[in-house]
Amino acid sequence: MDEVNLAPDLIDRTAAAFTRFASIFGAEHLAFVALAAIPAAIWLYIFFRHQRENKLLTVVTFLGGMLGVVPIFILQHEITRIEGWIEAASLSAILMIFLKGMWVGIYEETAKHWILKSTGRRFFRNIDDAIQLSIVVGLGFAFTENALYFYSIWNNPAISNFWFYFIFRSIGSMFLHILASGIFGYFYGIAHFAKPILQEELKQGGDLTTTKWLHRILHLKSEVIFYEQKITQGLLVAAVLHGVFDFLMGMSQHYSDAGSAIGTKLWLVSAVPFLVGGYFWLTYLLDRKENHKLYAKVCEKEECDILEVERIDIEKTIGNLG
C-alpha cells in the first residue's frame, strides 16, 4: 500500500483547487450557475422568510459554504483512492454502494463542518443560530455542487432527460444537504455552548456517564469532553443521513443500469418518506423553544478561545495515549 503524503504538493494542490473552483464561474458555466441559484434562493426563502437575521452574515456564510468544495478538490486523489479500495474489495453490489454512500457522507459533512467553524461560530447567540447558519453553509455547498453537476449532465450524451435531473437535484439532493447540515448545526450549537448547557444537564440530573468517565481518564474539563462528544455525534448523524440518501440513490442507479424500471422507481420513491421525515425533524428543531435560549453572554470571545485551546489539548492527549 502506497503511503499517503500530502506535504510535497499541498501548495500545488491548493492552488489547483482554487483554480478549479474559479472556473465554475467561467463563461461556459454561467447558465448552469444561474440554474443552480434558483433552487438555492427558493430554499433560503422557505427557511428564512420569517427570520430577521444579519443579511451580510448570511451572504458571507453562503459564500463560505460554496468554498466547501475546495478541501474536497485538494484531497480528491485520496478520496478517489479510498473509493477504489471499496470497489476493489470484491464486496456485494449492495454493500459496496452502501459503503461508498457513507464515505461520501463523511467527507462532505466534514468539509461543511470546517466551513461552519471557520465562518459563523463567533456570531452564535443560541442553538437556533447554529442550526440556521449551518443550513446556509449546506445551501452554499449544494449550490456549487449543483452548478458542477448540471454542467456535467448537460454535456453527457448518455443522459437525455436533463430537466428530470434538474428537478430532482433541486428538490431531493439540495434538501438532503439542508437536512444533514441543519442536524449537525443543532449538535454544533450544543457543543459551542457546552459550559452552560452542561451545567443545566447536571442540575436536571441528566445522564452524563460517558462525559464523567472520559473526564476521569483524560483529566480535562467536563465541558471540553462534552464539546468533543457533541461535535462527533453531530458529524456521525449528519454523515449517516447523507450516506443513507446516497445509498438509496445508488441502489436506484444500480437497478437502472440493470434495466429494471420497477427497481429504479422503488428505490427512488423510497427517498420521499426519508426526506419528508427529515423536513419535520428539522422544522421541529428550528421551532423548539429551548434552542432559542440566549447563551451569547456566557460564551464571550475570550472564553471561546480558551475552549478552543482546550479542545486542541484533548486531541494532543488522545494522541499521546495512542
4: left (phi over 0), alpha (psi -120 to 50) or beta: beta
Specify the pLDDT at position 134: 93
> What CA–CA distance (Å, rounded) separates 226 from 210?
9
> What CA–CA distance (Å, rounded) separates 281 from 263?
28
pTM higher than 0.85 for the full model? no
> What CA–CA distance (Å, rounded) separates 136 from 286?
14
Residue 108's nearest CA partner among 62, 58, 65, 60 is 65
> What CA–CA distance (Å, rounded) separates 125 from 127?
7
Domain ranges of the chain: 10-321
Q: How many CB atoms lie within 10 A of CB 125?
A: 16
- Tens-digit pLDDT string for the chain (322 aa): 344 555 557 888 889 999 999 999 988 899 999 999 999 999 988 887 766 567 788 888 999 999 999 999 998 888 999 988 888 886 788 899 999 999 999 999 999 999 998 887 777 888 888 998 999 999 999 999 999 999 998 988 877 788 888 898 899 899 999 999 999 999 999 888 877 877 776 666 655 666 666 656 665 666 777 788 889 999 999 999 999 999 999 998 888 888 888 888 899 889 989 999 988 988 888 887 677 777 655 444 444 544 444 444 444 444 444 4
H helix runs in the chain, sequence order: 10-23, 30-48, 55-66, 69-74, 76-88, 93-119, 127-154, 162-168, 174-192, 194-203, 209-218, 222-257, 261-269, 271-287, 301-321
